[in-house]
């Protein structure tokens, strides 16, 4: 019975033709939402990281929910070379579905990436890499965000 079902599936796939994958809706681009910006996550003065709104886009320019892995890097490009990466966050494919939001005129993944090293300047470059699991293609985009620097810590007697 199982063998018969597999043979039928093979016949169906062969009937769809060689170019069936080209007809599937897949990611052709990604974009960062306009609300991607610094975020305060601990209620203390200053931002602790960046909240990222990422939308995969299909060939028609529409937002689509797509399986993939996301890599985020935050750079303080005004800092010295070699000291400008202030954070890096990775989100594997099995963890991004819970980050999808779809509602009235909004379709995106939402991520938060905290500083590993607090930036010294008030502009951060957000670089996002999305690897689509259907096609294996990797897409990148970036955006400059203004942030509020964390308040400097004061030490007693200084």
Please report, for the domain that includes residue 135, its CATH number: 2.60.40.1940
Question: Please, what is the end-to-end C-alpha distance for the chain in angstroms?
Answer: 81
How many independent structural domains does the chain possess?
A: 1
Q: Is residue 158 part of a domain?
A: no
Which domain range does residue 119 map to? 24-146
pLDDT value at residue 153: 56
Nearby residues of 107 by Cβ (< 8 Å), 6 or more positions away: 55, 63, 64, 65, 101
pTM of the entire structure?
0.83
Q: Is residue 77 part of a domain?
A: yes
Specify the 3-state DSSP secondary structure of 14.
helix
Residue 128 has pLDDT above 60, yes or no: yes
pLDDT band at 154 (very low <50, low <70, confident <90, very high): very low
pLDDT > 70? residue 115:
yes
Nearest one of 54, 58, 49, 83 to 71, comparing CA atoms: 54
Q: Is residue 156 over pLDDT 70?
A: no
The backbone torsions φ and ψ at residue 23, rounded to the nearest 5 degrees and listed phi first, read -90, -10
Cα–Cα dist 8/2, whole Å: 10
Q: Answer yes or no: is 113 within a domain.
A: yes
93 token code pair? 């494919």
Which pLDDT score is estimated for 152?
Answer: 64
Banded pLDDT at 157 (limits 50, 70, 90): very low
Cα–Cα dist 77/15, whole Å: 53
């Amino acid at each position: 019975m199982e063998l018969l079902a597999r043979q039928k599936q093979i016949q169906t796939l062969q009937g769809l033709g060689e170019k069936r994958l080209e007809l599937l809706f897949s990611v052709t681009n990604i974009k960062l939402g306009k609300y991607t910006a610094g975020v305060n996550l601990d209620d203390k003065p200053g931002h602790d990281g960046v909240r990222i709104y990422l939308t995969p886009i299909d060939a028609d320019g529409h937002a689509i929910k797509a399986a993939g892995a996301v890599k985020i890097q935050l750079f303080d490009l005004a800092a010295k070379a070699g000291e400008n990466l202030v954070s890096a966050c990775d989100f594997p494919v099995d963890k991004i579905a819970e980050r999808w939001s779809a509602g009235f005129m909004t379709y995106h993944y939402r991520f938060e990436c905290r500083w590993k090293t607090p930036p010294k300047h008030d502009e951060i470059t957000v670089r996002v890499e999305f690897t689509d699991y259907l096609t294996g293609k990797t897409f990148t985009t970036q955006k400059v965000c203004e942030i509020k620097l964390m308040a400097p810590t004061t030490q007693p007697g200084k």
